[in-house]
Amino acid sequence: MQPTEAIILAGGFGTRLKKKINQVPKPMAPIGDKPFLAYLLDYLDEFGITHVILSVGYKWEVIRDQFGDRYKSARLSYAVENEPLGTGGGMRAAMQLLEGDHTFILNGDTFFRVDLNDLGAFHFAHQADLSMSVSRMNNISRYGTVELQVCKVTGFREKQQVRAGYINGGVYITSRFLFDRFKLPATFSFEEDLLTKHLDALKICAMNSTGYFIDIGVPEDYEKAIRELPQKVKAGGSLPDNH
């Protein structure tokens, strides 16, 4: 059954953007007349998501004061980290607030226009433990790449200059019980300590998407998002220049 819940990892400090965003959480970086996070919430609303859990930490009150407990047709819940838990620890804490058995998960500093209906159908058809969205890009140096055998993930390669490859787009679907079978510390990295270390024990599948992708984690791409994102959203999303 297609999930109607989603988790957004919105606890980023925005260290590399400090000169640009004036001491607010990274997902609150302004894009046009609204924060980046609003674009993610609008996107989830398009796909009928009715409960969004925000995994928050640094200056999380800024997010709560802006959005409160409701955005359009979605209820908003907050999983607050009193101390940084890493991407995995924050995700696991947010899962405690889920009401259903499956959820979408999004990075709070990337916008990847994946068709969530397709991703959900793909995930259940492949009976995966976790399904991720990937985007094929050319001339990659900033991102690690995902190694695939058909659609099954067989490895993750560190950041390096490659002519072409698939990058992890940061949109997932998984079960709320994903972490239960592993002994993991309170603070851990979802990518390194779960996906990479336990790859052989998990069935991870990847669905390629050609939807618009932007990551606001560095100043040059944040500036690109300011220029592009409002127009791309109006246009329904299209391929960025580096595909």
Prediction pTM value = 0.92
Q: Is 18 helix (H, G, I), strand (E, B) or coil?
A: helix
User: Phi/psi class of residue 170: alpha, beta or left (left: φ > 0; alpha: ψ in -120 to 50)?
Assistant: left
Q: Which candidate, 170, 202, 11, places its Cα nearest to that of 94?
A: 11
In a domain, 243, yes or no: no
| Residue range 132-148, pLDDT digits in tens | 999 998 877 677 889 99
In a domain, 70, yes or no: yes
In a domain, 241, yes or no: no
| Residue range 7-54, pLDDT digits in tens | 999 986 656 565 666 678 889 999 988 999 999 999 999 999 999 999
In a domain, 242, yes or no: no
* Count of Cβ atoms closer than 10 Å to residue 66 Cβ: 14
For residue 176, give Cα distances in angstroms to 11, 83, 134. Answer: 20, 22, 21
Range of the domain at 191: 5-235
In a domain, 222, yes or no: yes
In a domain, 38, yes or no: yes
| Residue range 109-167, pLDDT digits in tens | 999 999 999 999 999 999 999 999 999 988 776 778 899 999 999 998 877 666 678 99
- The CATH number of the domain holding residue 127 is 3.90.550.10
In a domain, 240, yes or no: no
For 203, phi then psi, to 5°, come to: -100, 100
Domain count of the fold of the chain: 1
For 57, phi then psi, to 5°, come to: -155, -90
